[in-house]
Amino acid sequence: GGVNLMIKPTFIIIGAGKCGTTSLWDLLGQHPEVCMCRPKEPNFFGSDENYAKGWEWYESFFKDVTGKKAIGDVSPQYASFARFPKAPERIARDLPDTKLIYIVRHPLERIKSSYFQALHTRHDMPREFSRCIKEYIYHIDITRYWTVIDTYRKYYEDAKIKVLFFEDFK
């Protein structure tokens, strides 16, 4: 079984980045029976450095859980296997009963949104779209939705994985 946590997320939004995870985190956090991680994106299960900080550090992201029916972690990094390959196995081992939410959007729209964000946040990013996509493969990696779902299906039954579409959510 998993580790006995005092606070265990009942669901995790695993991504994908640039598909509405922040809006979903914000909306769910407004519900009186839901406790969302604050701040967003602890990336506990993905980052070796964060995972090494331990459960007490992770639990500190969940405030006022008393009486809440649902507790959620939102870390789109959990769908980025090129950067965080250990996330699915760690989540499954430590939280075998949690449910997963995976929000996706049209692949080209997701890649374009990721590219525009990178242009504004990274000074080393190539200005040309085609060069950026070739040099920074994570733009493509995150958009391989089937690979992400298939990987998580090794650990979780289909009934525990909910796929949402950004276009419907919007």
Residue 111 tokens read as 């890649």
When the pLDDT of each residue in the chain is averaged and rounded to a whole number, the result is 92
CB 11 within 8 A of CB 100: yes
Q: Give residue-wise pLDDT tens across range 30-77.
A: 999 999 999 999 999 999 999 999 999 999 999 889 999 999 999 999
pLDDT of residue 122: 83
pTM score above 0.85:
yes
Q: Across residues 126-150, what is the average pLDDT? A: 87
**pLDDT higher than 70, residue 2:** no
Helices (H), 12-157: 21-29, 48-52, 55-59, 87-94, 107-121, 129-135, 138-141, 145-153
Mean pLDDT of 15-26: 95
Question: Is 70 exceeded by the pLDDT of residue 1?
Answer: no
Residue 4 has pLDDT above 80, yes or no: no
Residue type present at position 27: L
